[in-house]
Amino acid sequence: MVTVGIVDDSAFMRNILTEIIEQRGHEVVGEASDGESAVELVENTNVEVITMDISMPGQGGHWAVDKIMERHPVPIVVLSAHVHEDAEEALELMERGVVDIIRKPGGKERSVSLWDRADEVVERIAGASQSSPRSGSTIDSASGSATRGADAGATSRAGRSGSRERSALGSSSRAGSSPTDSIESAKTTTLLVGSSTGGPDTVETLLANLPTGLDLRVLVVQHMTDALTGSFANRLDAATDLEFREAGANETITAGEGVLAKGGYHLEVTGYRRGRIDIDLSKAPKINNVRPAVDATMRTAADVIDDHMIGVILTGMGQDGAVGIKSVADAGGRTIAQDEATSRIFGMPKAAIETGSIEQVLAIDDIPDAIVRLCTDDD
């Protein structure tokens, strides 16, 4: 059973959602009709997941998401009739900390339409509750928690605002003003990146600040619905020097290319030969209650790639990627996790660090330089 809080300015919609959720064995522990009462609901109940409307009077959904993530992070599922019409707004909400976005039916038939999708809606709400927000415990990046490499624990306290400034610089790289001079690398490298809550801007910051000249093939898994992965892939293509696209079935990735896992599918590595990576999409069962899963991509990559690999775990709720990053390390790959100070949610990096397979724990601004060193060092 999952405890749910419902935030919507429509009493009609709150009543429908309560009935749908409770008929399927879960408990609604509170309701709110605006942003301020949503924050109070989270602080005063044992709620495990919040459903959130965005357009509300007074302090609306955007404000509430920010305050909840700042004060008492819990998984948030947005139910909105409008967000899916604006991909940039949807990506912004995911950057703020939203776990999932469900299209809420509108008009006179909205109750019938919601009942028609009741099983899907409840499954996604219950699934979101499996994401573990940041716990009260803190990993000291300078301690021995990351045990594999001598560089473990190199941590800075750079804020997210600095990351976004660097991302803005990186977005001009296609025009010839790359933030770092072109660097030649003799290593044929596969870069595997996993991210979830708060990830879109973080992934863009990382990739936009990689210099040209690295012999990279990049596979990114960002927990995101299929309604958004195409738009996000286009955004990465515009912001980086890589030829970036949404992953498709039975494709091959070569140097200078990157793919983003398609929402609703696992991205699996099926073959590797002379710097060419074969990939495919899979509807296999969810892993860590998500699809695409970081673990699926990293584990299959570790199974078949026999060249230089780098695995990076970025901000996100839950522990997806922990098994995968260990597989990369066990296969001889190099490993990095984002530090707590610059992670929106430290769940995924923390879980990766606790495997003992992470070599470096770094602020997001420092990860591109670390990747460059790993690609150009002689070891």
Residues 171-191, mean pLDDT to the nearest whole number: 59
Has domain 160-376 been given CATH number 3.40.50.180?
A: yes
pTM of the entire predicted model: 0.80
pLDDT at 85: 63
Structure tokens at 115: 């009942």
The span from the CA of 273 to the CA of 106, in Å, is 50
pLDDT at 84: 59
Residues 145-151, mean pLDDT to the nearest whole number: 37
Q: Is residue 131 annotated as part of the catalytic site, yes or no?
A: no
Residue with the bigger pLDDT between 326 and 141: it is 326
Question: What is the enclosing helix (H) or strand (E) of 7?
Answer: strand 3-7
Instruction: Let me know if 105 is exposed, middle or buried by CB neighbors in 10 A (0-12, 13-18, 19+).
Output: middle
Catalytic residue among 62, 223, 266, 308: 223
Model confidence pLDDT, tens digit, residues 308-320: 999 999 999 889 9
- Which CATH architecture best describes the domain 3-128? 3-Layer(aba) Sandwich (3.40)
Residues of the chain with CATH 3.40.50.180: 160-376
Is the pLDDT at 88 greater than 60, yes or no? yes
Catalytic residue among 80, 196, 327, 343: 196
What is the 3-class SS of 342-355, one letter each residue? CCCCCHHHHHHHHC
Tally of CB atoms within 10 A around 144: 9
pLDDT at 115: 85
Contacts of residue 183, defined as CB under 8 A and 6 or more positions apart, other chains included, come to 211, 212, 213, 214, 372, 375, 376
Is the pLDDT at 220 greater than 70, yes or no? yes
Structure tokens at 221: 């898994």
pLDDT at 172: 37
Contacts of residue 130, defined as CB under 8 A and 6 or more positions apart, other chains included, come to 288, 289, 318
Catalytic residue among 241, 320, 339, 365: 320
Q: Is residue 295 annotated as part of the catalytic site, yes or no?
A: no
Residues 316-337, mean pLDDT to the nearest whole number: 96
The span from the CA of 201 to the CA of 315, in Å, is 10
Is the pLDDT at 362 greater than 80, yes or no? yes
Q: Show the DSSP H helices in the chain as ranges.
A: 11-23, 35-44, 61-71, 87-96, 110-116, 118-128, 160-170, 199-208, 226-239, 294-304, 322-330, 347-354, 367-376
pLDDT band (50, 70, 90) for residue 111: low
Q: Is residue 196 annotated as part of the catalytic site, yes or no?
A: yes
CB 348 within 8 Å of CB 321: yes
Longest dimension (CA), the chain: 66
Contacts of residue 43, defined as CB under 8 A and 6 or more positions apart, other chains included, come to 71, 72
Q: Show the DSSP H helices in 190-270 as ranges.
A: 199-208, 226-239
Residues of the chain with CATH 3.40.50.2300: 3-128
